[in-house]
Chain A
Amino acid sequence: MSIRLDQLAKSFDSLRVVKTTSLEVEDSELFVLLGASGSGKSTILRLIAGLSAPDSGRIWLHGRDVTDLQPQERGIGFVFQNYSIFRHMSVAENIEFPLKIRKVSRSKREERREQLLDLVGLGGLGNRYAHQLSGGQQQRVALARALVHEPSVLLLDEPFGALDVKIRGQLRRNLKEIQRQLRVTAILVTHDQEEAFELADRVGLMERGELLEVGEPEALYAHPRTLFGATFLGAGTVLVGRAKNGAAKLGSLSLPIPPEVEHEEDARVRVLVRPEQVALSAGAAGAAGDEPPEGNLLGHGTIVEQSFLGALRRVRVRLPAIPGTRQASPAVYGEESLLMDAVIPAGEDPGGFEVWVSLKGWHILAPPRPRLLACDFPGEGSPAPFSLLRGFEGSLNARVSLLSVTDKVDRVAALRASQTERAASHGLPDAEPVVRKGDPVDEIAAEQVQSLYDFLVLSMPEKGQGEILPGVLSALSTPLLAVQGEPDSFSRILICTAVGEPGKADVRVGGWLARRLGAEVTLLHVLVDGGGPAPWVKAHLDAGLATLRGLEVTSRTVLRPARAAVQGILDEAKEGGHDLIVLGRHAASRSGGRVRRHDFSFEILAGSGKSVLIVPPGQ
């Protein structure tokens, strides 16, 4: 293993530039980190080079832990985007610089310099200065200089970024050749997907500080796991349909879901179709003699745009809305129709403006991993519920972020380091520490908005309601799991429809959790007025039950008369032995933005002593 990054993380103030990232790069491999600007890819390169220090994690180069070494001690070569050729030195002096530093004899230096000048194709230009060279030549000098001391690892930061498109191709091929020839392990950073595919043995795709996917270019292109991967790595359309009987339904079209892709019945499924997987055949819908073609027919549409790409022609087709199907990418605004891109040989004619669209191939994306934000405030009697988080990491395949907040700026770095250790010691080595400075309530709210989470987890202190809960509830945008006791999972879930509309967010979120945890669900409605249930109550309960059955969750409904809703819920939870109570929450229970102390949720929490999942509307 040439390069090994172990749980590397780096933040600037509260901005997490590199979230906990691990990566291994093989000997002689050319690994490309691909991502938009600001995705953290260059930061990873700088961490490896030692130009900036990680907050946590280790860096290994050829089996040597270099995390605490200075850049000059790491034995690397680095090519900067601006090349950074020393202007007061000639090309020869630039290339000899690393050797001079290493006190290599003059004759050896000259010999080696000539070798490298030849290698990069700049023989005879040794006496020139940077300002006498073209951009491409400067880039080659930078490459030669970075390689002359035979580094074990070569790092390249957007080496072609400042060059004309025309010479880029040539230089890429040169680089690849040289890397092959010297068998040097290399990491190259770029935002150019084409460049990544052309150069890489493997590509790592980065987004917002996260290494989303790693794989060989072909595999990543054909089988991306994430929506970002699907859209960033080339053209294509992502359609969203529903899973029915092991297949993705796009209108009348059923595409079998491969067994390795986890899915739930009736859940949304995302299907990626690359332009080259779209087949077009001419024909007007309904016209005699224009029969739809056989196999995987998506629909009938009209050509809205054609562009000539040289050997190929890109054709954009608009299809009328297909029931139960919408388009996730490219984003379509304000209309329900779909836009599909296809490529055909430039010489071919689609044969009219009306075409049948069918799929020659497709890829079904894996459902995203759920993300949990767990608040860890041990100082306030509210440490993260580690046992539950460990359970969730396994059963939900969840990614856990541990949030801690400090009001002292100078504590941020120390806290981040200790948080990593703390998570590891509680069996969550992959948890990502999130440290923010400021007021806990405000920072919880801000963190929910800035990064999207599926659950917010907050353990209740043993005494009282917790000082921060009211504030958190008033700005809740994510389902909040208020944990009491030390559960590691939930087996009996009580979904209360006593207040508000049942069968919506609370049932769906509760049901989803139950399915993942293998828990049973009781759907409760408390009859407060005495007498039988109103007809709408029954209808809602039936709808809820249908939703739950659709999720394949064992469930039943209970109608319970009680003097007050809270009392009914508490009684049912106690008698039924439930370990999680799910409450819907909607606008009516807020008052002027701040949550009242006698809020429904507090009474349930205090009265039951059990964990409560509070689901905000619109989930």
Chain B
Amino acid sequence: MPPAPSTSRSRLEGGLLAAAGLALLLYALWPWLPLPGRAARPRTVVFYGFSILGEALNDDVLPEFARRWRQTTGEPVEFITSFAGSGTVTNQIALGVPAQLALLSLELDAERLAAAGVIAPGSWRRLPHGGVVNRTPFVLVVRRGNPKNIHDFSDLARPGVRVVHPDPMTSGGANWALLAEYGAAARRHPGREKEAGFEALRGVWRHVVAQAASARAARTQFENGFGDVLVTYEQDVLGDAAKGKLPGEIVYPPSTVLSEHTLVVIDKKIPAPDRPLIRALVQFLWSEPAQRLFVRRGFRSVDERLNADNPAFGRIQDPFRVANFGGWDRVKKEIVDGIWKDRVMKEIGK
């Protein structure tokens, strides 16, 4: 027969449990408790960004802006940020997350937002530098000592090379990577660009062993030991490479694309009183101090003069931009969809 429920031992346990629960609740509520000496909640800005921007924005650029804003206006400002693959961020914003600013990894996503009615078409082009905040080239990361002897995108087509690549369906970076792989081949074979590009993509994608949702996730996979080579942003690996924490080394292909990161301002999510704040923030992003912060974090500035600040930037013989291939509209239609999706992926059956 079980003991009556009111023995002293179970009472003690019940008391302990209640105390533990209460302590947890108190802990959870702590920041919201109306204790004296607490400042009012600051103004908030909701900033979405694609994956590799996380640290540069969270740790350097945004706190610097908050400091300056407080200096000039005396007002605290708090940033609520969310970072994911550019495609994911774009989808979330289209679904209605309360993002006010978003830094996307390719202009195509900005156009998708315009098509969804979230922002005015082409509104980002009215910003400085056509909305491009910074750039970074696409590079290869190989295992230490480069055991597979990889120096260019064309080397990825060699048998036995295993490639970790972000997924072009969700990752903006992956689209840039496609353009890099295609463009490098196309520029080397003037006159038969399309065929050369197709063969290059086919060669690379035969060897893709892991597709991650974002450039960041792809890198995490590579670091966890997947594959022989990772296609990714220079910026993403630069910092760790400098600190010697990168489990591999950076290989600069002779010819590669400089990805350009576009800022969009979602006006309808910005209440009128916050407009000056947002305007100031947007201006700040292209200001010299902010651009220098980006350079320090491994992004190449839109202001070429500042790029000398970062000695780690590798040399690229033949850098090119999306404009060289007619802009993202054409690249998307002809290369990403027309060649990669419809021909390469069908042929290799992925």
Contacts and interface: CB of A to CB of B under 8 A. Distances in A.
Direct contact of A and B (CB under 8 A): yes
A131 B1 contact: yes
Nearest to B6: A90
B4 interface: yes
Contacts of A88: 5
A129 interface: yes
B163 to A, nearest CB: 66
Contacts of B4: 129, 132
Q: DSSP class of B's interface residues: helix, strand, loop or mixed?
A: loop
A131 B4 CA distance: 9
Interface residues of B, number: 3
A129 B4 CA distance: 8
A129 B6 CA distance: 11
Contacts of B5: 88
Contacts of B1: 131-132
Contacts of A131: 1
Interface in A533-575: none
A200 to B, nearest CB: 38
Nearest to A131: B1
Nearest to B4: A129
Interface in B236-266: none
Interface in B1-46: 1, 4-5
B147 to A, nearest CB: 71
A497 to B, nearest CB: 80
Contacts of A132: 1, 4
A129 B3 CA distance: 10
B22 to A, nearest CB: 24
Interface in A387-434: none
Nearest to A87: B5
Nearest to B2: A131
Contacts of A129: 4
Interface string A109-134: 00000000000000000000101100
A132 B1 CA distance: 8
B6 to A, nearest CB: 9
A132 B6 CA distance: 14
Nearest to B5: A88
A121 B5 CA distance: 26
B10 to A, nearest CB: 14
A470 B342 CA distance: 83
A465 to B, nearest CB: 74
Interface in A9-68: none
A550 to B, nearest CB: 74
A302 B295 CA distance: 124
A266 to B, nearest CB: 70
A129 B5 CA distance: 10
Interface string A259-299: 00000000000000000000000000000000000000000
A132 B5 CA distance: 13
A94 to B, nearest CB: 14
Interface string B75-106: 00000000000000000000000000000000
A131 B5 CA distance: 12
A88 B5 CA distance: 8
A82 B146 CA distance: 83
Nearest to A88: B5
Nearest to A129: B4
A129 B7 CA distance: 13
Interface string A131-146: 1100000000000000
A535 B311 CA distance: 144
A132 B4 CA distance: 9
A132 B2 CA distance: 10
A567 B349 CA distance: 102
A129 B1 CA distance: 11
A131 B2 CA distance: 9
A119 B1 CA distance: 28
A432 to B, nearest CB: 52
A175 to B, nearest CB: 28
Interface in A69-112: 88
Nearest to A127: B4
A88 B4 CA distance: 9
B11 to A, nearest CB: 15
A131 B1 CA distance: 8
A574 to B, nearest CB: 88
B1 to A, nearest CB: 6
B238 to A, nearest CB: 67
A138 to B, nearest CB: 15
Which are the 5 A-B pairs with shortest beta-carbon distances? A129-B4, A131-B1, A132-B1, A88-B5, A132-B4
Interface of B: 1, 4-5
5 contacts: A88-B5, A129-B4, A131-B1, A132-B1, A132-B4
